[in-house]
Each structure stands twice: as structure tokens, then as C-alpha cells.
Amino acid sequence: MGMPLQAPMEISFDYTRSLGPVLGPFMTALAERRILGSRGSDGRVHAPAIEYDPVTFEPLTELVEVASTGTVLSWSWMPDPFDGQPLDRPFAWALILLDGADTPMLHAVDAGSPENISTGMRVQARWAAARTGSIRDIECFAEPGEPDEPGERVEPVTMVTTPIRLRYQHSASPQESAYLRALAEGRLVAQRCPACTKVYLPPRGACPTCGVPTEEEVELTGTATVTTFCIVNVPFPGQRTKPPYVYASIVVDGTDIPMLHLILGCPADEVRMGMRVEAVWKPQEQWGMSPENIDHFRPADEPDAPFESYAHHL
């Protein structure tokens, strides 16, 4: 099968949420260079503001302004910052007890070197030049300087968008590597379990039913049957196909497990259970070692499959 393949992978999306009566004012205050906490039933001020009392679990409504200065309670040095972290140079993550608060907040301290930070150190918020109503409006904390002047009042912040990203190095199994190499040659291959004889696409290193390695390679034609499907009508950021379009669960001929793929080549309302479809490959110059070599599936010029032939895949 050759050496297993490796490739960097990234999963990312923007998480958008409404803020409500506590976090909305908290984010609005950050845009104005102010920090709010919320007072709990036991009198403690929690900063950043929290929505529910940790003692009674009741909603918290009393907001209290705290200072932008505070004391480092504990810290950990970050010698090699990752992309997206508050600073692009070495810094400390610290728990900081703001003046007027009773619980600490976690944030970055721009100390230059670990010799310049210590428990008990006094720090002050350094505000971002452009503020939008986000925790990142506090760029970091640093040694105290001139007292803060509140910024101009802004419109209430009611929504926040947080980018979520995960980067990792994926090591493909020998079976998956063979599958990817075949895709680069314009072929579709699966693996058969030697015990139950089920054929898996994409291949799996071991049969999930029998727990034995899958070693027999099975070459497929790329025709398939639609089992169930979903018509996508709602646009969203990053969408590659204009709605309406169909994502369907399909069973490729010769396999025993459905896979999800895009169905094009006909109006969305004509896609149906049992519909026969065939793979449409991208132009060869765009092929790589990727399932994206198959751009989509389209209707095949064949009668629909009988329900009994795919009922056990629903």
C-alpha cells in the first residue's frame, strides 16, 4: 500500500450568539473601555460578568463597574504563541483579580520575559485601538501607566461572533492512504472485511462490526443509489452552491455503508429515494489526493432502485 500519508488539516467556523441582558452590557462597556462585573447573592462581584449565580443558580441582574487595574494571582509563561492568541510575542497567561472584583479573570500579560512577572504584580488593562464589543477589546494587561479615561459611548452590543479554529496533523491509515492515492488516479476503491464481507467506503482500517483488519481492496464504478436526502434552502457564509440543492445519503454500488455527498444535475425537488446517481469528477488537472476529486453526483440514466434493495441502509 505504500507509506501512510500525512497532511495538515483545519476545521474552522464563526460562532455567532446573542448576548442577553448581562453579557450585552458587559461587551458594550468593553467597547467604552470599561469593565463590568455582576454581583452574586453572597455579595461577591464576579468579573468578567456572569449570567447566573454560582450559589443559587438564579439569573444575576446587578452589574457593578470594576477597575481596569488588578493583581496577578497566578501565571503561566507562553514562550511560543499560537496564531490567534492575544499577542504574537512571548507573554504570560495570568489570573488577574481586578480592583473591586472578588473573582479573577484570565487574560494575557505583556511582561517581555518570565523574569518580569510574579504573583502579586500590579497590572493594568491595555485597550485595543479599535474596539468592537469583544473580550479582545482588552488587548492584554501590562504594568500600570496613566489612569484610564473612559471611551465614547457606543450603541448597545447585542451580538458577538467568535472565530473557532482547530488545526492538526492527520496521519492516514494504510487503507485510507491507498484510497487517497487511488483518487489521485481517478479511481474509487473500498476495503472488504474478511469476516463479514462488508465493503466500506471510505475505507476503514478495521471492520467496526467484527474488529478485524480490512485488507482486501475493492474497486468501484462510482454509481450509487440515493437512500435519504436533505434539500438545503438556507444560504450561509462559505456556501459553494447556490440554494436550493441536495445533500444525500448514498450507497455506492458494491459497498455496504452509506456516505454523504452533493447531488446536482437536476432540480432539487426531483431528487428522490431510490434515485440512481453517478459520480462526476473534477477536471483531471484539479485532482489531488482528496475525496473532493469527485465534485458531485448526478442522475444516472437508469430506473430507480427498488426499495427493498436499500431499505436496510435507512
The 10s digit of each residue's pLDDT in 31-82 is 999 999 999 999 999 999 999 999 999 999 999 999 999 999 999 999 999 8
| Burial annotation 33-56 (CB, 10 A radius, 16+ → b, else e) | bbbbbbbbeeebbbbbbbeebeee
Order the strands of the 45-46 sheet from edge to edge.
45-46, 35-39, 63-66
Closest CA to 175 of 216, 147, 221: 216
User: In the prediction, which pLDDT does 2 show?
Assistant: 67
Residue that the C-alpha cell 504594568 belongs to: 143
Which pLDDT band, with edges at 50, 70 and 90, does 141 fall under?
very high
User: In the prediction, which pLDDT does 75 show?
Assistant: 98
* CA–CA dist 180, 78 (Å, integer): 38
Tell me, letter by letter, the H, E, C secondary structure of the chain: CCCCCEEEEEEEEEEEEECHHHHHHHHHHHHCCCEEEEECCCCCEECCCCCECCCCCCECCCEEEECCEEEEEEEEEECCCCCCCCCCCCEEEEEEEECCCCECEEEEECCCCHHHCCCCCEEEEEECCCCCCCHHHEEEEECCCCCCCCCCCCCCCCEEEEEEEEEEEEECCHHHHHHHHHHCCCCEEEEECCCCCCEECCCCCECCCCCCECCEEEEECCEEEEEEEEEECCCCCCCCCCCCEEEEEEEECCCCCCEEEEECCCCHHHCCCCCEEEEEECCHHHCCCCHHHEEEEEECCCCCCCHHHCHHHC
Mean predicted confidence (pLDDT) in 208-224? 92
Q: Return the C-alpha cell found at 49.
A: 460578568
Mean predicted confidence (pLDDT) in 129-158? 90
User: In the prediction, which pLDDT does 292 show?
Assistant: 94
Mean pLDDT of the chain: 94
> 0.75 cut: is pTM over it?
no
User: In the prediction, which pLDDT does 277 show?
Assistant: 98
Residue that the C-alpha cell 484610564 belongs to: 148
Mean predicted confidence (pLDDT) in 193-209? 92
- Which residues are within 8 A (CB) of 129 and not within 5 positions of it... i.e. 6 or more apart? none
User: In the prediction, which pLDDT does 84 show?
Assistant: 84
Which pLDDT band, with edges at 50, 70 and 90, does 163 fall under?
confident
* CA–CA dist 47, 67 (Å, integer): 10
Query: Has residue 173 got a pLDDT over 90?
Result: no
Query: Has residue 148 got a pLDDT over 90?
Result: no
Which pLDDT band, with edges at 50, 70 and 90, does 108 fall under?
very high
Mean predicted confidence (pLDDT) in 143-165? 87
Query: Has residue 245 got a pLDDT over 90?
Result: yes
For the chain, what percent of residues have pLDDT higher than 70? 99
User: In the prediction, which pLDDT does 1 show?
Assistant: 54
The residue ranking higher by pLDDT, 102 or 166, is 102
Q: One-letter amino acid identity for 21?
A: P
Mean predicted confidence (pLDDT) in 88-104? 97
